[in-house]
Amino acid sequence: MKKIFLIPLMFLTFLSLTACSPTDDDLIVPETPEQPENPGNGNSDDNDPEEPTDPIPGGNGRYLVLFTSRSGNTERVANEIRDQLDCDILEVEPETAFETDYNAMLERARDELNAIQHGNFPAVKTSMEDFDSYDLVFVGYPIWYGSMATTMQSFLHNHSSKLEGKRIALFATSGGSGISSSAREAEALCPNSEILDQTLLLTSSSLSQMESRIATWLEEIGAHQEEPETPDQSSLSMAITVGDRTITATMEDNAAARDLLSRLPMEVTLNDYNNTTEKIFYPDPELELEGVTQGCAPVPGDITIYVPWGNLAIFCKNWSSSNDLVRIGHIDGNGIEALNVPGDISVRLEKR
């Protein structure tokens, strides 16, 4: 009789143990993040932003700085890169903002990193239509538990196909962790992009050197502000029409000459001054003089500004050196003969 009761008891015990045992999925975490077709929970597009986000534009359209930041450190680095390059910038933000409580944030970060290992990427509210206009994309993030912050992982995962063929430069901030693991994550997330070997990591001990460290890094990877194109000779050339004759002048590449050229065409009367030593007129407003070099000994054909009065003076004769004169151009060849006549003359000034 005891044996009959013992058999059902053993069977119930076996069922209980089986129900409480961990599965293989709970024990094994893959080392390389999986990439399901859809972000978020892997089976829906519901978390995708409805409209792409426009970066804040800079003057240099060759580069884009993407960053995500919780404490503000990565944002500081991103803004410094943007300032040094004068380029576009865009913050990548999570769908749900991170907790202000540090321990709660750490717990969420652990959960999201574990979810990414299983192919489930947390939702972000930032997206880009394309990256076609950029030569180089900077990607910045804090490092959590040795990994790239989950928000940026999601963004790269979502935009992997749009980043194909693009050069990507990684920068990160951390309390002391290295950047190599997150660089490998970037390579896995964007396998068809070129992840540059030269990365930038700023830790709590080196953040104070941010400006110089960034400048050195940008030089290493060949990123720089776009310099204005050197003007060709024609863009610094001016035509002066006197009656039926047109003479030319080659202008200096300085602020005053550029200012004058920007106002052309214009018709002015050149007043005779000091017995045809100079032909003068008064630009209104006065020409820009910031950064120009003062002082010259004018020769026939020199076009100058007399700083105390603000007048333009074209010299028809040699004159003594003066620190109050700024040379802004010279009449080509023997063209000064057309102006070296008594009395006032009317002329038309045009860019060539």
Q: Break the chain into its structural domains and give their ranges.
A: 60-220, 234-351
From CA 156, how far away is CA 218, in angstroms rounded?
A: 22
Average pLDDT over every residue of 285-305: 94
Task: Name beta bridge partners: 241.
Answer: 246, 348
Q: How confident is the model at residue 5 (pLDDT cuts 50, 70, 90)?
A: very low
Q: Provide the 3-class DSSP secondary structure of residue 27.
A: helix
> What mean pLDDT comes out for the span 155-182?
96
Query: What pLDDT does residue 352 have?
Result: 85
Residue 50 pLDDT: 53
Angle separating helix axes 150-158 and 180-189, nearest 10 degrees: 30
- Kindly report the length of the chain: 352
What's residue 137's pLDDT? 98
| 176 band by pLDDT with thresholds 50, 70 and 90 | confident
Q: CB under 8 Å to 10, separation ≥6 — which residues?
A: none
Mean pLDDT over each residue of the chain, to the nearest integer: 85
User: What distance in Å separates the CA atoms of residue 44 and residue 31, rounded to the nearest whole number?
Assistant: 24
Phi, psi (rounded to 5 degrees) for 349: -105, 130
Least Cα distance to 254 among 242, 246, 262 occurs for: 262
Segment (H or E) for 211: helix 210-220
Architecture category of domain 60-220 in CATH? 3-Layer(aba) Sandwich (3.40)
Please determine, for residue 287, whether its predicted confidence score (pLDDT) is greater than 80: yes
CA distance 313 to 190: 63
pLDDT value of residue 41 = 37
Over residues 147-159, the mean pLDDT reads 97
If pLDDT is split at 50, 70 and 90, which confidence band does 121 have?
A: very high
pLDDT more than 70, % of the chain:
83
For residue 341, the model assigns a pLDDT of 94
Name the token pair of 92: 């990548």
CB 352 within 8 Å of CB 238? yes
Specify the pLDDT at position 38.
Answer: 36
Angle at which helices 150-158 and 102-117 cross, to 10°? 40
- pLDDT above 50 (res 334): yes
pLDDT for 184 beyond 60: yes
Q: What is the predicted pLDDT for the residue at 227?
A: 59
DSSP 94: B
- The predicted-structure confidence for 266-283, as pLDDT tens digits, reads as follows 999 999 999 999 999 999
What mean pLDDT is predicted for residues 150-175? 97
The bridge status of strand 136-144 relative to strand 60-67 is parallel
Give residue 28's pLDDT: 25
Task: Tell me the backbone φ, ψ of residue 257, rounded to 5 degrees.
Answer: -65, -40
320 pLDDT above the threshold of 50 = yes
Mean pLDDT along residues 257-261? 94
Q: Does residue 42 register a pLDDT over 60?
A: no
Distance between CA 126 and CA 146 in Å, rounded? 24
pTM score of the predicted model? 0.55
Domain covering 234-351 assigned CATH 2.40.100.20 in the classification = yes
Confidence of residue 111 (pLDDT cuts 50, 70, 90): very high
Q: What's the whole-number mean pLDDT along residues 214-237?
A: 77
pLDDT at 21 > cutoff 70:
no
